[in-house]
Structure 1
């Protein structure tokens, strides 16, 4: 039973977290040397491979490697992304006309430079509120204990994205911040979960037995209820402003070049993409930055000196001043290298037999 042996070796050490299990499995199966970039495995339904070198699969391929990158396409969508993302998000949608159009919408309407700059006042207001909250918490903690900065940063990222995407903050409601964060944490955990039935279909009952199907269903319902409420508020005129919901609702009328008609589910999928990607990755990066700076006080001192020198007599740090903080930017880049917010690329599938740095990769191999 070789496929079953590989499956349980894949899962036995690290539970069901995709990034950890792939790393452990790749190290144990690497051949012929300890520095090989690629490992392969055979399951009952598909052949799959793991590469530790991002440039071979993702964008930014360096000179000399162009011919080594295999021809790729998006593999069939898994059950979990399909259930959570309405079958219409950007990251997991298969290549085709729909994917091209929603990607165009994101680039031109949601993430353009003009659009990002238009929400500058939101970032400044929320950053100022964060500083005030830290000062107030520090004054109280002087006699009672430490300040939980991580919790405050989570609230910051949630509030910024809520105001940008939905037009208002939901953390002001009773238990709103805690509920959103719990739902988002479960969403991220589910997307990073290894689905046994995807690799061995006849073992899909294990996913149901361990409660995975129920968790996906419950999380999907929670997101749908929240997003439906947001759309209803905007459609009924209860929300004012020009947030991302307004942009998406008006695209069908204002952009004649869009080759598709956005449905309500499509809009929810794109909003969930924006919310999940904007909050989870930002919070994770800031959390690691704080942890590493505390661990390396000399680096923190040098970063603080640069910030004070660049800001000078200005009463607050303006966004344009960040361009002159070269050392701080390098610190953040190094932390992103050490602690990637998204440790795995979206899976791809080879179109034809190919070679990857001397290894033969058959067609229809998931990478």
Structure 2
């Protein structure tokens, strides 16, 4: 809640003289009536103080009063929120191109990050070239399959770290999400740069790891400038200045990694190419926009991979463990499936994922209830659009409330319950074709990393369940029941899950 009061103080100090002392009424005339329905807002501030600390939940509660599409004014930003699978289908099937641009928060403008990162880049030739390169060269099933050994080793390291921590007999157990984050970070480092970057023994991690954590924290901090863009030059919270410094430092570190890797590639060519080598080779041989990618853009792409991959994996695994510990029958079913397919005393291999439908169902059910980015990456209307009989003005910000869609009782029986079994006889997946389950988005700007995320999530969770018995103490039971969330790059559990781990007998 502290950030709400910070924003309130800033707003009052800067904007109160312009605010009237009565609530806005719906505007008369045809233009207002064509907008989607939504709650009344205050002058200047709009609905920003009505959203609460977990806005995806608050806005989901508006569906019963206002329907599938809700109109909000958050500060000075016009915002449309899509709240149902039906409305999402209309958006992605019929109006995908009209909403293909992104809403860019101020801190992401630092050093041109928003112009180079695939997830944020303007919809145009550069984005199309990068999307094609990512999906066809870096993140194809073939290329991901070639890097299986990397993930196997990084997961083995994670299992060893957790086993060593468990043997120390820590009173409150271990913070499992921390170990998953470190393992995910090293997986991505090896995929991109062919090297480990962190270990749990280093209290503060590598310089790059620490710099990336600082960027994640800064980019996840609510910024008044995003609500009132005319304050951009003032930067009242100092976030732009802070991230400018942090990103400059991080880009220098990445540049050092790239230069070192280039020298290694020349002196010791390898039959297995990491993603950096693939990107450099593609850039050199391509006739399209990728051929003009600068080193600066290359460094930002590497940063984006770490920002998008490490936090998403660790937060999802933490929520999966919370749900499985709350539901012992589901935990037992997942572990029994692993024992049957993998075998006691054997390591879980990535190739076995397809033989583990219940494990995959657990991952899907976790993503349904706890999408890492509840509103997805916000879109923006390129032009004025007629959407579901409403007139949506140009530059309107668009949220797709994946959290609300995943809990819609019209799509899901016992929608609020954790029931992996619902997916066993269902072909529903999270690849963007089933709009009732879209934790990674849909349409042309769907997350390019879904194939890699699928493997990482199932491999990490399956390994944790197969290698250890899990439990919590009395304090942990109370903390586990606390469903409060912390908004950041992803939505994490506010109170971290502390678990007691014991190696399974072999």
2:385 to 321, 334, 353: 353
Structure 1 residues 69 and 75: CA distance shift in structure 2, 3 A: closer
Question: Which residue pairs with 1:154 in the alignment?
Answer: 181
Instruction: Call closer, same or farther: CA 1:281–1:55 in 2, change over 3 Å.
Output: farther
Is 1:230 aligned to 2:268, yes or no? no
Instruction: For 1:72 and 1:150, locate their aligned partners in 2 and report how far apart those are by CA, in whole Å.
Output: 35
Residue 250 of structure 1 and its aligned partner are, at CA, apart by 2.2
Question: SS of the counterpart of 1:273?
Answer: helix
Show the counterpart of 2:198: 171
The structure-2 alpha-carbon separation of the partners of 1:119 and 1:194, relative to structure 1 and needing over 3 Å to count, comes to: same
- Residue in 1 that maps onto 2:370: 339
Cα offset, 1:103, TM superposition: 0.8
- Give CA-to-partner distance per residue, 1:281-321, whole Å, 9 cap, x none: 11111111112111211110111111101113672111121
Query: Which residue does 2:48 correspond to in 1?
Result: 10
Write the distance in 2 (CA, Å) between the matches of 1:98 and 1:47: 28
Distance 1:22 1:308, change over 3 A: closer
What aligned pairs does 1:270-281 form with structure 2 within 5 A after superposition? 270-281=301-312
1:243-258 alignment to 2 at 5 Å?
Answer: 243-256=274-287
**Cα shift at 1:4:** 6.1
2:153 — aligned with what? Answer: 125
- Give the direction of change, closer, same or farther, for the CA distance of 1:287–1:315 in structure 2 (3 Å limit): same
Pair 1:83 & 2:114 matched: no
> Measured at CA, do residues 103 and 5 of structure 1 come closer, stay the same or move farther in structure 2, by a change above 3 Å?
same
Distance of aligned partners of 1:139 and 1:73 in 2 relative to their CA distance in 1, 3 Å threshold: closer
Q: Counterpart in 1 of 2:397?
A: 366
Structure 2 segments unaligned to the other structure (5+ residues): 1-18, 25-40, 399-506
Superposed CA deviations along residues 164-194 of structure 1, whole A, max 9, x for unmatched, are 1111012159556365554334433444444
Specify which structure has the higher proportion of helix.
1
Displacement of 1:27 after TM fit? 5.4
CA offset at residue 94 of structure 1?
0.8
User: For residues 184 and 8 of structure 1, what CA distance do their matches in structure 2 show?
Assistant: 34
Could you tell me which runs of 5 or more consecutive residues in structure 1 were left unpaired when the two chains were aligned.
Answer: none
Q: What CA RMSD, in Å, does the superposition of the two structures yield over aligned residues? A: 3.2
Report the Cα offset of residue 259 of structure 1: 5.6
Q: CA deviation at 1:195?
A: 3.6
Q: CA deviation at 1:236?
A: 3.1
Deviation at 1:129, TM superposition (A): 1.9
- Per-residue CA distance 1:149-172 (angstroms, 9 max, x = gap): 222212111111111111101215
| Structure 1 residues 255-294: Cα deviation after superposition (integer angstroms, max 9, x where no partner) | 3455641210121121122222121111111111112111
Q: Deviations over 1:34-55 (max 9, x none)?
A: 3622222346755221222366
> Is the 1:45–1:200 Cα contact (8 Å) retained in structure 2?
yes
Query: Which residue does the alignment assign to 2:404?
Result: none
Where 1:47 maps in the other structure, the secondary structure is strand
CA distance in 2, matches of 1:6, 1:182: 38
Aligned counterparts, 1:175-194, within 5 A: 177=205, 180-194=208-222
Change (3 A) 1:314 1:55: farther
Displacement, 1:11? 4.3
The TM-score, its normalising length taken from structure 1, stands at: 0.83
Q: Give the structure 1 partner of residue 9 of structure 2.
A: none
Residue of 202, 212, 232 corresponding to 2:230: 202
Match of 2:138 among 110, 115, 126: 110
TM-score, length-scaled by structure 2: 0.62
Structure 1 residues 217-226 or 103-112, which shifts more? 217-226
Deviation digits for residues 180-230 of structure 1 (CA, Å, limit 9, x no counterpart) = 554334433444444433442333467x22221233223312321221111
Q: Is the 8 A contact 1:46 1:199 kept in 2?
A: yes
- When residues 359 and 193 of structure 1 are mapped into structure 2, their CA distance, relative to the original with a 3 A threshold, is farther
Cα distance, 1:43–1:237 mapped onto 2, change above 3 Å? same
Whether 1:34 and 2:62 are equivalent positions in the alignment is: no
State the alpha-carbon separation in 1 of the partners of residues 249 and 392 from structure 2.
Answer: 41
Is the 2:101–2:379 Cα contact (8 Å) retained in structure 1? yes
Note the alpha carbon deviations across 1:119-160, whole angstroms, 9 max, x for none: 100111111222222222222217x55233222212111111
What's 2:169 paired with? 141
The reply on whether 1:215 has 2:242 as its aligned counterpart is yes
Give the 3-state SS of the residue equivalent to 1:340 in structure 2. Answer: coil
1:328 to 354, 359, 378: 359
